[in-house]
Homo-oligomer: A and B are copies of this chain.
Amino acid sequence: MFPEFKDYIQRQANLSDDEIELMRSRAVEKTLRRKEFLVHQGDVCRYKIFITRGLLRTYHAREDGSERIMQFSPEISWTTDPESFEYSTPSNFNIAALEPSEVVLWTKSDLRYLIDNIPGLKTYFDKLISRSGHIFRQRIFTAIGASAEEKYEEFVKNYSHILTRVPLHMVASYLGVTRETLSRIRHAQVIRK
């Protein structure tokens, strides 16, 4: 698990061997079974999570059983609940594995220490945050102005690698439509073709 992270971070940030070793010394590796939770709604999310293998999702479950999926996190990406992680408040979200997964974890205090002592890591996270801001804005733009079909096409365009790995009702929950609507959109597209 850490080796995969090391390969990735060496390509993305210019870290010395010592710096990588420092990151390793604070990292915790964890294997997740399918459907296993890393964070439960109501818990504090104590880790920043790097996924080295598998696929996670971050979602809110309502009383009535319906879900809102905020994020899919495949291998070679990060996730956490930023508010819960930063302020140690109960999270509104579950983070759970959709596939058998492997992750690397850092606590808030360890991550703070690493960022404060590894300038290249700070630069790397700054870039990452900038990119994720862009993704947020695009998603808002689509969510407030696009039809269900346009939202789906946007998803296909941006996340074709995820589309093939998750059930359609979860794609629907991510888009904010019902699974029936999504099913009909797909049907209509097949017919039109």
Interface string of A168-187 (1 = CB under 8 A from B): 00000011100000000000
- Cα separation A130 to B133 with both chains bound (whole Å): 10
Q: How many copies does the complex hold?
A: 2
User: 1/0 per position for A130-169, CB-CB distance to B under 8 A?
Assistant: 1011101101110111000000000000000000000000
Given that A129-B129, A145-B176, A176-B145 are contacting pairs, would A70 and B134 also be in contact in the complex, using a CB cutoff of 8 Å? no
**Contacting residues, chain B, for A132 (C-beta < 8 A):** 133
**Closest chain B residue, CB of each to CB of A67:** B145
Q: Judge whether A26 is part of the interface by a CB distance below 8 angstroms.
A: no
A 40-80 binary contact with B (CB < 8 Å = 1; else 0): 00000000000000000000100000001010000000000
CA–CA, A129 and B111, complex, Å: 18
Identity of the chain B residue whose Cβ is nearest the Cβ of A81 in the assembled complex: B137
Binding site for B on A (CB under 8 A): 60, 68, 70, 82-83, 86, 129-130, 132-134, 136-137, 139-141, 143-145, 174-176
Contact sample, A vs B, 11 pairs, CB 8 Å cutoff: A70-B140, A82-B134, A82-B137, A83-B134, A129-B129, A129-B133, A133-B136, A136-B137, A143-B144, A144-B174, A144-B175
